[in-house]
Amino acid sequence: MSTQEFSPQQRDKDHGLVEVMGRSTPMVNKGPEDTLPSWPYLFVWEALLFLGISALLLAMSILIDAPLREAANPNLTENPAKAPWYFLNLQELLLHMNPSLAGVIVPTIVLIFLMSIPYLDRNFSDIGIWFASRKGKLITVWSTIYTVPLLVGLILFDQYIRVRALISEPEIIPGWIIPIGVMGLLSVGLYAVIRPFRPNTREVLVAYFTGFVVTFFILTIASTFFRGLGMNLTLPWDLPPGALSF
Amino acid sequence: MISRLRQQLRQFPDMLLQSNVWRSVFRQGYPDNDENRSLVVMNSVFLHFHPVKVKTNTLRPAYTLGLGIISLFLFLILIFTGGVLTFLYLPTTEQAYIFIQELHTSVPFGALLRNAHRWAAHLMVLSVFLHMMRVFYTGGYKHPREFNWVIGVILLVITFLLSFTGYLLPWDQLSFWAITVGTNIAGYTPFMGAEVRALLLGSTTVGGEALLRFYVLHLVLLPALLIILLGVHFWRIRKDGGLSAPLHAEEVEK
Ligand code: HEM
């Protein structure tokens, strides 16, 4: 049976707000030749990604069990007691400076820095280009090369030589003045490293954002895989059972 | 006989696509021409978040790395798995742990469900962070997308908090001490540390009040906030003319 006569003809509808025009696009500054229809080009990608993620997650969930320790017991302190991994960078900082500085002031400044990035970099001629330029790529690499050894060195220094063993009184010196001084010097040093490139605003931001990201990962990794009993430095294979906080 | 059947089979897709049942659901024919490809997007509440046409640059996997979409899909999976887990869990200090134990021992597919929820949560934190890095390094935050970047930073913080509040719910040693450490950090807020900590915990230590607060934050308040802000995030992407792209096409090659 033909159903044609019962179904309203789409074409008769004359009140659409959007009219479909041949070969055109509403996008500003973009010719139609730069666009493709979302169906199928975009939706195929999205469907594939969804399938891929579901498959990965299913495989992971079959293979690895989520941890479940003994029931919570306020009288039995875990050693080491670790925050979830994405906060372990803060917990690592906590070991090296006054807790208000490490736990609240530094992350607040980082968030303010992140939010202000688009208002500092007002030039959009290089929008959409990975790392801004060839120079930007070099700056990313150099910022990483600069940050990694210095951070690892500082962590080792504070474990084996210890700032507080050198000077512990008054608290304001090891808790505030030295760490702020070190962070300030690290930031100035980063600028000194990239200055020879004569960076523009975006490239300076690339250096500092890279410094932030590398620091985030180094501190997270150090605190997750290298901190054992009493949050002392340990090698990953010597970690006490259950020291991983996933 | 056979050939008639063959003919009917060949016509079947067309018949289906033109039947009034199919048309009542999808309203347009199969999207194999420009008109239907537009209509399919405009007629569907799910697809209409997308533009009818996208820039070729947006489709380059090496540009977005798919990370925004991956974050969204992980969030959807979390809503679904979390929704089912809610049937099987109560946030009291006496029962919470037992409910989680039962997932592993007596609930069919309980462990799978819990594992999927937990690993998706970790992956989402990671993918949202990587998405931020992608947007930064491609300059996707530039005018006119400044404020969408700011919304993004807030989304990142909410993602952290969602994961953190969920972490307490199993009420085992891992979650108890992690949340003790985490809320101690919040307790170092200058001038009002004790107050901030008390607000989070509803008490001076991690206990039943904290479990209830984290439960409500994790199930209602933070997801609601995330969903609203995601709506704004996506709406702004559309209003900003889709994703960022190089001003000159040839720069893609470099
Ligand atoms: C729950 C977390 C988030 C979800 C689900 C999400 C989702 C998305 C999606 C699907 C896109 C489309 C392009 C793409 O896939 O890359 C996008 C673009 C964008 N996102 Fe997010 N996002 C989240 C968090 C963030 C964060 C943390 C930031 C930055 C701090 C951010 C900033 C942006 C910006 C500026 C764009 C436009 C980029 C461009 O035009 O190139 N988003 N987001």
The distance between the two most distant Cα atoms of chain B, rounded to a whole number of Å, is: 89
Residues of A (43-102) whose Cβ lies below 8 Å from B: 43, 45-46, 49-50, 53-54, 57-58, 60-62, 64-74, 76-78, 81-87, 90-91, 94, 99-100, 102
DSSP annotation string for B18-43: HSHHHHHHH-S--S-SHHHHHHHHHT
Do A57 and A145 belong together in one domain?
Answer: no
Q: How far is the CA of B132 from the centre of ligand 1 (A)?
A: 7
- Asked if A75 and B179 count as a contact pair (C-beta separation under 8 A), the reply is no
> Any idea where the domains of chain B sit in the sequence?
2-39, 66-253
Q: Label residue A41 by pLDDT band (50, 70, 90).
A: very high
Answer with the residue of higher pLDDT: A172 or B252: A172
pLDDT given for residue A2 in this prediction: 44
Do A115 and A214 belong together in one domain?
Answer: yes
Res B73 pLDDT > 80: yes
Do A44 and A155 belong together in one domain?
Answer: no
C-alpha R_g of chain A: 27
Residue B209: left (phi > 0), alpha (psi -120 to 50), or beta? alpha
pLDDT digits (tens, 9 = 90+) for B166-207: 999 999 999 999 999 999 999 999 999 999 999 999 999 999
Q: Two tokens at B32? A: 């194999």
Helices (H), B27-109: 34-42, 56-59, 61-64, 67-87, 96-105
CA distance B93 to B172: 10
- Asked if B218 and B165 count as a contact pair (C-beta separation under 8 A), the reply is yes
Helix, strand or coil, per DSSP, at residue B194: helix
Query: Hunting for tokens 């474990």 — which residue is that?
Result: A159
Vertex A92, ends B132 and B188: CA angle to 5°?
A: 95
Do A136 and A208 belong together in one domain?
Answer: yes
Residues of A (226-245) whose Cβ lies below 8 Å from B: 242, 245
Interchain pair B188, A25: CB under 8 A: no
Q: Does A13 touch chain B (CB under 8 A)?
A: no
> What burial letters (b/e) apply to A61-89, b meaning 16+ CB within 10 Å?
beeeebebbebbeeeeebebbbbbbbbbb
Do A133 and A200 belong together in one domain?
Answer: yes
In chain A, the number of structural domains is 2
Q: C-alpha dihedral over A127, A143, B147, B128, to 10 degrees?
A: 100
The reply to whether ligand 1 has any atom less than 6 angstroms from the CB of B157 is no
Interchain pair A74, B205: CB under 8 A: yes
The reply to whether ligand 1 has any atom less than 6 angstroms from the CB of B155 is yes
A14-18, B123-127, B203-207, B239-243 — most confident range = B123-127
Q: Label residue A5 by pLDDT band (50, 70, 90).
A: very low
ipTM score: 0.91
Do A125 and A96 belong together in one domain?
Answer: yes
> What burial letters (b/e) apply to B139-167, b meaning 16+ CB within 10 Å?
bbbbeebbebbbbbbbbbebbbbbbbbbb
pLDDT given for residue B196 in this prediction: 95
Domain B66-253 sits in CATH at: 1.20.810.10
Q: Report the percentage of chain A scoring pLDDT > 70.
A: 87
Nearest-CA residue for atom 20 of ligand 1 = B152
pLDDT digits (tens, 9 = 90+) for B10-69: 999 888 888 999 999 988 888 989 999 999 999 988 898 999 999 999 999 999 999 999
Q: Rounded mean pLDDT of A47-75? A: 96
Do A53 and A124 belong together in one domain?
Answer: no
Do A54 and A119 belong together in one domain?
Answer: no
Count contacts between A and B (CB, < 8 Å): 266
pLDDT given for residue A12 in this prediction: 56
| Nearest alpha-carbon partner for A100 in B201, B142, B186, B119 | B186
Q: Report the percentage of chain B scoring pLDDT > 70.
A: 98
Distances (CA, A) of A122 to A28, A202, B146, B158: 19, 9, 9, 27
In a domain? residue A26: no
CA distance A186 to A189: 5
Q: How far is the CA of A237 from the centre of ligand 1 (A)?
A: 37
Do A60 and A90 belong together in one domain?
Answer: no
In a domain? residue A80: no
Nearest ligand 1 atom, CA B150: 30
CA distance B98 to A34: 57
pLDDT digits (tens, 9 = 90+) for A143-186: 999 999 999 999 999 999 999 999 888 989 999 999 999 999 99
Do A59 and A92 belong together in one domain?
Answer: no
In a domain? residue A202: yes
Helix, strand or coil, per DSSP, at residue B95: coil
Nearest-CA residue for atom 14 of ligand 1 = B68
Burial degree of B108 (CB within 10 A; 0-12, 13-18, 19+): exposed
Q: How many CB atoms lie within 10 A of CB B95?
A: 13
Q: Which of A29, A38, A129 sits opposite B139 (nearest CB)?
A: A129
The reply to whether ligand 1 has any atom less than 6 angstroms from the CB of B148 is yes
pLDDT given for residue A136 in this prediction: 96
Do A234 and A203 belong together in one domain?
Answer: yes
pLDDT given for residue A11 in this prediction: 55
Q: Which domain holds residue A132?
A: 85-238
Q: Rounded mean pLDDT of A100-128? A: 95
State the pTM of this model: 0.91
